[in-house]
Amino acid sequence: MGPLAGIKVVEVAGLAAAPFGCMILADLGADVLRVDRVDRTGNSASGVSHGAWTDPLSRGRRSIALDLKTAEGLEILLQLAGHADVLVEAFRPGVAERLGFGPDVCLEANPRLVYARMTGWGQDGPLAPTAGHDIDYIAISGALSIVGRAGERPLPPVNLAGDFGGGGMLLAIGILAALLERQGSGRGQVIDAAMVDGSALLTAMFHGLRAGGTWQDERGTNLIDGGAPFYDTYQTADGGYLAVGALEPAFYSELVAGLGLADAGLPDRNDRANWPALRERLTTVIAQRTTAEWAEVFAGSDACVAPVLSLSEAPDHPHNKARGTFTEVAGLTQPAPAPRFSRTPADPPQPPPAPGADTDAVLTSLGYDQPRIADLRSRRVTA
């Protein structure tokens, strides 16, 4: 089930960004086969060790374990690529070529293959051969500079902007676009998805605002970066937080009414000089009730107010429960597949496979008999 049913993806195991992109493809119905290392035992696709194989980024896959540094392991990978629609790899530039499964080799064997490459810096440029992490990629793209409080250091937005939004999501979009183009041309192509490019793309609106004079480079001083008191978070009486996003005048009117400040003579919010005083008033009032009490006050209103929920609290919010925004897979609560489709809905996600769990079945489908499979396993070509 799902709109990508019938699409075959070979994912050479990586960390964070590429697994997230492949999780999206698997969620939407693609048959994703992950090629794990023969010595991979406990690390998840997020790079964190788990007691059990419960990493959501790895859900919905099959897994074969191969030693790609052996001639036979490489031969098996090339056979898989020859029958696939998509191959995803996340090595540094040149590594796949040195191992023998670069795009030239794979596309020669399978001209319809979409060969997707996920890196931080991209396939070229002076930084391409060097190591990096999400924080480095979003640093030079400009994305990191706009997150944080005024007068304070930039605050890493965990790895949402680099690994996931600017990385894995961009990778998935690129793959879908290449598959769509292939319907007309009949040919595959190489996708160069880089987190530095993707995180820069996420800042497009702010470049426009800056050019128009409505955005300042100084973070924490603008309309939607926490600079405006009517677009910020506030601590409540129980130590929780309330998110306030009352940008439009009508929504702001509902906000001040709900706070009991409609007739309190609040300073004009359109004058930035009044923002510190207005923030002080909002801070004082919001601190007088708990998060739950404020959520009840603003329930059903257009004040654009919401409680700031933790990862453990979010699945129990009534809206999320009604929408089925979260699901449970193998006992682990996690985000459900998105978006939703009216005619080709996706199946519920399946638990992540243990590394190599499907090795025998995959090799059998390629024509390997049991004695040969046993021999490959005994020599640690497979596991």
Active centre residues (catalytic): 133, 163
Q: Give the integer Cα–Cα distance in Å for 61 and 131.
A: 28
CA angle at residue 305 from 300 to 310, to 5 degrees? Answer: 110
Query: Measuring CA to CA, which residue among 331, 366, 324, 328 is closest to residue 345?
Result: 324
Query: Edge-to-edge, what's the strand order for the sheet holding 114-119?
Result: 61-65, 31-36, 8-12, 86-89, 114-119, 189-194
CB atoms within 10 A of CB 309: 17
Angle of the 169-185 helix axis to the 17-27 helix axis, nearest 10: 60
The 10 Å Cβ neighbour count of residue 21 is 30
Cα gap 228→106, rounded to integer Å: 52
For the residues of 244-283, what is the DSSP string, one character each? Answer: EE--SHHHHHHHHHHTT-TTS-PPPTTSGGGHHHHHHHHH
CA distances from 127 to 121, 161, 201, 374 (A): 6, 19, 19, 43
Question: b vs e for 288-303, b when ≥16 Cβ sit within 10 Å of the residue's Cβ?
Answer: ebebeebbebbeeeeb
Which helix H or strand E contains 67, and what residues bound it?
A: none
CB atoms within 10 A of CB 69: 13
**Tokens (6 digits) for 67:** 């030693």
Residue 348 in contact with residue 4, Cβ under 8 Å?
no
Q: What is the number of other CB atoms lying within 10 angstroms of the CB of residue 94? A: 12
For residue 135, which amino acid is it? I
Give how far the C-alpha of residue 64 lies from the chain's centroid of Cα atoms, to the nearest Å. 24
Residue 229 CA to residue 234 CA, distance in Å, equals: 9
Which of 267, 264, 275, 261 has its CA nearest to residue 229?
Answer: 275
